[in-house]
Amino acid sequence: MELNEILISQAIIEEYSKELRTATELDVAIVGGGPSGLIAAYYLAKAGKKVALFERKLSIGGGMWGGGMMFNKAVIQEEAKPILEEQNIRLKKYKENYYIVDCVEMASGLCFNAKKAGAMIFNLISCEDVMIRENKITGIVINWSPVEMAKLHIDPITIGAKIIIDATGHPCEVVRGMEKKMGVKLNTSTGGMLGEKPMWAEVGEKLIVENTKEVYPGLWVTGMAVNAVFGGPRMGPIFGGMLLSGKKVAELVLKKL
Residues that bind ligand 48H (CB under 6 A): 31-37, 54-57, 62-64, 126-127, 167-170, 173, 223-225, 234-236, 239, 242
Q: Please identify, using beta-carbon distances, which residue of 74 and 184 lies nearer to ligand 48H.
A: 74
Shortest distance in whole angstroms from residue 62 CB to ligand 48H? 2
The DSSP annotation for 30-57 comes to EE--SHHHHHHHHHHHHTT--EEEE-SS
Q: Which helix (H) or strand (E) holds 62?
A: none
Q: Which helix (H) or strand (E) holds 172?
A: none
**Cβ-proximal residues to 94 (8 Å cutoff; 6+ apart), any chain:** 75, 100
Q: Please identify, using beta-carbon distances, which residue of 55 and 179 lies nearer to ligand 48H.
A: 55
Q: Please identify, using beta-carbon distances, which residue of 218 and 223 lies nearer to ligand 48H.
A: 223
Shortest distance in whole angstroms from residue 231 CB to ligand 48H? 14
What is the residue type of 20? L
Shortest distance in whole angstroms from residue 5 CB to ligand 48H? 31
Shortest distance in whole angstroms from residue 64 CB to ligand 48H? 6
Shortest distance in whole angstroms from residue 60 CB to ligand 48H? 7
**Cβ-proximal residues to 223 (8 Å cutoff; 6+ apart), any chain:** 32, 34, 35, 36, 37, 167, 169, 208, 242, 245, 246
Q: Please identify, using beta-carbon distances, which residue of 86 and 200 lies nearer to ligand 48H.
A: 200
Shortest distance in whole angstroms from residue 36 CB to ligand 48H? 3
Q: Which helix (H) or strand (E) holds 214?
A: strand 214-216
Q: Please identify, using beta-carbon distances, which residue of 107 and 186 lies nearer to ligand 48H.
A: 107
Q: Please identify, using beta-carbon distances, which residue of 64 and 84 lies nearer to ligand 48H.
A: 64
Give the whole-angstrom CA distance, residue 201 versus residue 207: 10
CA dihedral for 122, 125, 127, 133, sign (positive or negative): negative
